[in-house]
Structure formats: C-alpha cells, structure tokens
Structure 1
C-alpha cells in the first residue's frame, strides 16, 4: 500500500476519517492524498447564465477549501507522513475512477455518520457511486472511530468463485497492517443451507487461496433473520475491528442489488467497513 486517497468536505466526520487514514499511513509508511470537490450542481450553488459557479461564491468556496486543506497538511506533517492535496471545482460530477488511476491510489477512505444513512456520507449521494464504482478498496470510517488499531477483520461472503479476488485484496490489506482475517457466512431463513454444505464450500474456497493450509483461517457460520442482522450480532459477540465485504461489478443489475445491500451494512454497522469491488 503506497497511496491512500482521503475524500474530505472538512466536516467533523470527514476530519475523523482523515485522522484514521493518517494514523494508518504512519503505521505502514504510506502517502496521503487529500481531495475536496466543490460541486457546481444547481441544488448547491447559484449558477450564472453560462452554467458556471458564480465567481464570488466560487472564490469563497476555494478559500474555505484551502484553509481546510492547510489544517490537514499541518496535521499530516506532525505525523511525519508525506501528504498531497487536491481541490477540484466547476465539476457537476466527480469520477472516482479517473482520479484513482491518475494518482495511483491503492485505497480510498471516506467518513460516514453511520445510522443516519448513506446520504450522510459526505459527498451526499455521490458516496453511493464511490462505494459502487471505486476501482480500489474503499474504507468507510464511522463517526469518531474509537479504535484505530485494526487487529481482527471479518470477511463476510457467500464464498463463491467470484469472491476470490476480493478476498485476496482483504488478505493484502491485512498483511500490510498486521491484522488477522476470519471468514463469516450468515445463514438466513430465506437462503438457508445446511451447515456441513456451507463448511464444505468454505473449505473449497480456501483451497484456492495461496498459502493455504499453512496459513490458517477461522471460519464462522452465523444465523440471522437477515444477513445484516447476522453480521451485527457476530461483530458484537466477537472482537472485530473491521468488516470487509465484496460489492458486485459483474453487471448493472447485480451491481445495483449487491451494492444496495452493501449500503445497508455501511449504514448500520458502527465499525469501519472495507468494500471491495468485484471485477
């Protein structure tokens, strides 16, 4: 992990996410890229006849953004980490994929208020697009993260072939920060499977993981009325610092359905959540 992209609107929740990212960057000797986007959509700013942000309002927003960035850069310097900052404006939409490719970012970090809903993620509804389309893993920090030390990660999955690439990304992340990974399957009444069949599929899944069986993983089968309920119960009952879940990139319909589930998880789980786009 070399570069961490931190999306910020300078709110309290974004500040907490920035601190979390800086502590992680210090731990693994990574570089931080702060990014703020000044949107020019009609519901945010008054637009002049040529469809550009009013010049005086634009200048005010830019000056506020520069001041916010200056604070973050000062904190990054106090951590002894390399940091860069980017402010972009006069864009009605933000393309996360273009930015990640241009600046070679390995992870994206964003902040969330949590139970107030996905729209409370800064960048508003654009956060949904970030989770759904980010070409690199996205770490969602919930409110003021009490624990910045990630030691135990739960990878929640149905353990099909398509989840292998996501799992390897999680293992790469865990190895970088020195964390252990457990496997979690939530068995629900709606898609109920016998425990021995689930265990067999998990073993088949692990058999294709490099380093297995020398590298051991604990696996758990949790029962819940809904998948998110089972995950919540598992996190409460175990010392889990972060939940990792794959999001779908197979086709527009499956992506929409699976990402909708991902957003529910992000909304209701207080721990940090790492989402990985399947391709």
Structure 2
C-alpha cells in the first residue's frame, strides 16, 4: 500500500481518520496525503477586484496555518505526510486526486451512529464513496489504531460482488485481517430457500476462485432487514470492520434497495470499508 488519502476539515473526527491512516501507514510503509477542501467560489478566485483577491488569499493562508497546527501530531512522526489544499468543495475531485497519486485507500471520519455529519456536512461522505474507484474506509467516531482482525463482507452473492470481494480480500490480507462472507436472508423480496442459497453460494465461490470454501464456511443470518442483519451479526461476532460493495453513482451496494446501505453507514458504530463494483 503506497499512498493513503485523508480528507480533513480540522475537526476531531478528521483527526480520528488521520490517526487511523497513520496506524495503517506505519504498518504498510505508506505515504499519507492530507487534503483540505477549501470552499472558495470561482468568482472569488478569478475576480480582479483587490478585495476579492485579498479574501481568497486570507482563506488560503488560514488553511495553511491550520494545516501546520493540525499536522503537528506525535502519531505522524516518522511518516511521509503531504498536505494539499483544493480550492473547491467538490468531493468527486478526491477520486481524480486518488487516480493522479496512485492512492490505494481513502480514509474519512464520521460521527458514527448518529449519522454522517460533523466532518462533512450533508451527504458528502456518501458522495466520495459513490465516486471513488479506490476503497474508502469510514471511521466511526474514534480512531482505529489496533489491528483489524475480523471483517465481514455482506453481499447477495451475485456476479457483481465477485471483483469487490476479491479486491477486499487482497487489501485485508495486507492488513492481516480475516474476511468472512455473510448472507442475509429476509422475508421480503429476495427471500431464498436453503437449497437456493446453497446453489447461489456455490456458484459464487467457484467464480471467485474460492474452491476451498463451502456453504458451511459462509455465515447466514435471517432478519427482517439487511441492515439489521449485518449490524446484529457484526456486534454478536465482535467484527472489527464491515465491508460493502458499492454501485457508484447509482447508490451503495448492489444488493441493497433504497437507502439501506446509507443506513448501514449512518447507523454503524463499526468502521465501514467500501469497494466499487
């Protein structure tokens, strides 16, 4: 893992994300790229009036000063940290930056169970997840500094989930984190009999080159909603990380309907890692 991007707004939750990234970077010998999205309109930046130019310069200098103070952290010692200031608060730009830098991971902070706010107002975290072609790790209200030991990948075992699962497994292998597959059976819409589940799981495992795994190696939960099933299982099994596949701009997670995936990210107090389908 060469580079990790951390978008920050200098809040305590962005500090948690930065501390999480630092913990990973020290184990992977990675560079951290810290990005602040400076909300300056195009009018302010391009206007020739002296007051507009002075205002833009003021905010840039203020951001630079905040960066100096924010990055003066003991946990960043012995790490290569590159600060970057973007002039627009367009969060899809993070994906462009990730591509330019060849980043392997984006780490973001959120408030956790009370919703994705505090560090990014509104649904900006979701915008990053939907636009990102690299994995996004969302920390939930505190820094992740201990080793991630057990992760669960919730999916519907469709062909679309194969590549995200393989990518998740490869990334988590670098972190020495075990990844388990989880099937949620609900009484609505996509309910499956045991026979149907076995057949679908068997096909998935074969296509994913997981011939050593069998039906019994996959976890199964029955619940009224996918969200409740994943969250209950994660807590019952002391899971350190929830992994989801995302469908880009069409919304989070191929097998989720409506806003269920957003609800998982919003309500989970466990870190969430997303991979784009």
Write the distance in 1 (CA, Å) between the matches of 2:101 and 2:75. 20
Asked if residue 154 in structure 1 is aligned to residue 152 in structure 2, the reply is yes
Name the CA shift for 1:124/1:180 in 2 (closer, same or farther; >3 Å).
Answer: same
Deviation at 1:40, TM superposition (A): 2.7
Ranges in structure 1 where 5+ consecutive residues have no aligned partner: none
Ranges in structure 2 where 5+ consecutive residues have no aligned partner: none
Q: Over residues 175-199 of structure 1, what are the superposed CA-to-partner deviations in whole Å (9 max), with x where a residue is unaligned?
A: 1100101111111111211123213
Q: Over residues 112-145 of structure 1, what are the superposed CA-to-partner deviations in whole Å (9 max), with x where a residue is unaligned?
A: 1123323445254332210111010100001113
Match of 1:168 among 163, 166, 169: 166
The match for 2:4 is 4
The match for 1:35 is 35
Match of 1:65 among 60, 63, 66: 63
Deviation at 1:253, TM superposition (A): 7.7
Write the distance in 2 (CA, Å) between the matches of 1:164 and 1:209. 6
Q: What is the alpha-carbon root mean square deviation over aligned residues?
A: 3.1
Match of 1:114 among 112, 115, 138: 112
Q: Over residues 178-227 of structure 1, what are the superposed CA-to-partner deviations in whole Å (9 max), with x where a residue is unaligned?
A: 01011111111112111232133222211223464189993111111111
Write the distance in 2 (CA, Å) between the matches of 1:169 and 1:56. 47
Asked if residue 232 in structure 1 is aligned to residue 246 in structure 2, the reply is no
Is residue 14–residue 122 contact of structure 1 (8 Å, CA) maintained in 2? no
5 Å-filtered alignment, 1:116-195, equals 116-122=114-120, 124-145=122-143, 148-190=146-188, 191-195=190-194
Write the distance in 1 (CA, Å) between the matches of 2:123 and 2:55. 22
The match for 1:93 is 90
Count of residue pairs the alignment pairs up: 273
Name the CA shift for 1:48/1:64 in 2 (closer, same or farther; >3 Å).
Answer: closer
What is the TM-score normalised by the length of structure 1? 0.86
Name the CA shift for 1:88/1:237 in 2 (closer, same or farther; >3 Å).
Answer: same
Write the distance in 2 (CA, Å) between the matches of 1:129 and 1:216. 35
Asked if residue 218 in structure 1 is aligned to residue 217 in structure 2, the reply is yes
What is the TM-score normalised by the length of structure 2? 0.86
Write the distance in 2 (CA, Å) between the matches of 1:259 and 1:64. 40
Is residue 16–residue 143 contact of structure 2 (8 Å, CA) maintained in 1? yes
